[in-house]
């Protein structure tokens, strides 16, 4: 009897994935922001199924991995120029060293609104509670030197301020410096727009941030008034091409936004900059006044004896809605 070797069936091509992509803070087009990411080959496909047992096929994949690693090393070496080499090339600017090409991006979240009483601090407190609920690690900075209500109720809050005095302009630089370690949340005071915008544009921080995987998101809290909307449109005009903007509709101050949404200039800006819109839920006045008077956080309010069962439930309901609205933006993760 002659022995017939069993023929091996051919199957579907096998794919070997090498995923070197950097996770982005938002999957859609955001404010015209163009993030430059190192492109590396993905989905290396073995066309012949029998190659997976063949030494040449395995060695081919190993050679490709070694080439990728070699290219990364060459990029790092080429970026490490001495000061004299930079001067010879005609560029006296010393770039910030790129420590890791594949590091996760950090975000500088700016809570803005320009007008006093628009709800910036209240949105900021809710933002902090949401980040705690999802274990989103960040540094909290209170830039409102006149009324540091964030620093009063949350521990380990950093303080920074924006100034039109050139001698004190560097005081805001710590915000960017801290972003090299982790994401940052900045609670702005009222009427700080010019100083903040000048700080970003004068130092070209949007581009400097991209080079170091640091990006800006401005959460603009709007009252529903035309003047408040105009401040938002101005921010888009000045920074919309470089910074992601979120139009936060404070439902506690306005419950009908149809007039704003029908404004031709608002519609034009929405088409041009593709900003994100967020509804911020209304919070009951009695509970809000009680929390502010007691100087406590939302988490503390849920267990505080002065708030009764129904009031605590209102706080929980508010947080549930607010958390859903923050999550829907896809910008905090």
pLDDT number for residue 103: 67
Average pLDDT rounded to a whole number, residues 309-313:
97
Task: Give the domains, in start order, of the chain with CATH numbers.
Answer: 14-88 (no CATH), 106-329 (3.40.50.300)
Q: Which two tokens stand for residue 291?
A: 């929390």
User: What are the beta bridge partners of residue 112?
Assistant: 220
CA 106 – CA 215 distance, rounded (Å): 6
The gap from C-alpha 6 to its chain's centroid, in whole angstroms, comes to 58
74-to-70, 77, 80, 182, 313 alpha-carbon distances in Å: 6, 5, 10, 27, 58
pLDDT digits (tens, 9 = 90+) for 144-201: 887 888 999 999 999 998 988 777 878 899 999 999 999 999 999 999 999 999 999 9
14-16 and 44-46: which strand pairing? antiparallel
Average pLDDT of every residue of the chain: 79
Name the range with the highest mean pLDDT among 28-32, 67-71, 317-321. Answer: 317-321
**How sure is the predictor about 253, in pLDDT bands with cuts at 50, 70 and 90?**
very high
Q: Residue 48's pLDDT is what?
A: 47
Taking only the tens place, the pLDDT of each residue in 64-78 is 445 544 444 444 434
Least confident of 38-52, 116-130, 211-225: 38-52
Does residue 304 surpass a pLDDT of 60?
A: yes
pLDDT value at residue 15: 41
* 299-326 CB burial, b ≥16 within 10 A, e <16: eebeebeebeeebeebbeebbebbbebb
pLDDT of residue 22: 39
Predicted pLDDT at 23: 41
């Amino acid at each position: 009897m002659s022995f017939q070797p069993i023929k091996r069936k051919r199957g579907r091509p096998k794919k070997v994935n090498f995923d070197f992509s950097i996770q982005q803070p938002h999957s859609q087009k955001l404010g015209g922001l163009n993030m430059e990411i190192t492109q590396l080959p993905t989905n290396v496909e073995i066309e012949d199924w029998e190659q997976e047992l063949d030494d040449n096929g395995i060695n081919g994949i190993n050679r490709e991995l070694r080439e990728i690693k070699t290219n990364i090393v060459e990029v790092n070496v080429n970026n490490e120029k001495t000061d004299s080499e930079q001067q010879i090339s005609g560029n006296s600017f010393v770039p910030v060293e790129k420590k890791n090409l594949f590091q996760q991006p950090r975000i500088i979240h700016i809570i803005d609104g320009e007008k006093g009483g628009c709800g910036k601090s209240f949105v900021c407190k809710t933002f902090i509670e949401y980040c705690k609920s999802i274990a989103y690690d960040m540094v909290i900075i209170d830039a409102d030197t006149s009324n540091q209500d964030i620093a009063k109720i949350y521990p380990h809050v950093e303080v920074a301020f924006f100034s039109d005095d050139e001698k004190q302009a560097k005081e805001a630089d710590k915000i960017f410096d801290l972003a090299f370690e982790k994401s940052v949340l900045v609670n702005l005071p009222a009427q700080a727009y010019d100083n903040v915008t000048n700080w970003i544009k004068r130092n070209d921080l949007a581009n400097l941030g991209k080079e170091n995987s640091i990006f800006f998101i401005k959460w603009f809290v709007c009252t529903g008034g035309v003047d408040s909307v105009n401040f938002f449109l101005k921010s888009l005009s000045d920074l919309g091409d470089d910074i992601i903007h979120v139009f936060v509709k404070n439902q506690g101050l306005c419950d009908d936004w149809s007039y704003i949404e029908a404004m031709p200039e608002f519609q034009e800006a929405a088409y041009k900059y593709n900003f994100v819109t967020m509804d911020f839920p209304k919070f009951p006045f009695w509970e809000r006044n009680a929390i502010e008077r007691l100087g406590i956080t939302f988490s503390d309010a849920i267990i505080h004896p002065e708030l009764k069962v129904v009031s605590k439930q209102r706080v929980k309901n508010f947080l549930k809605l607010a958390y859903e609205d923050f999550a829907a933006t896809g910008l905090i993760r």
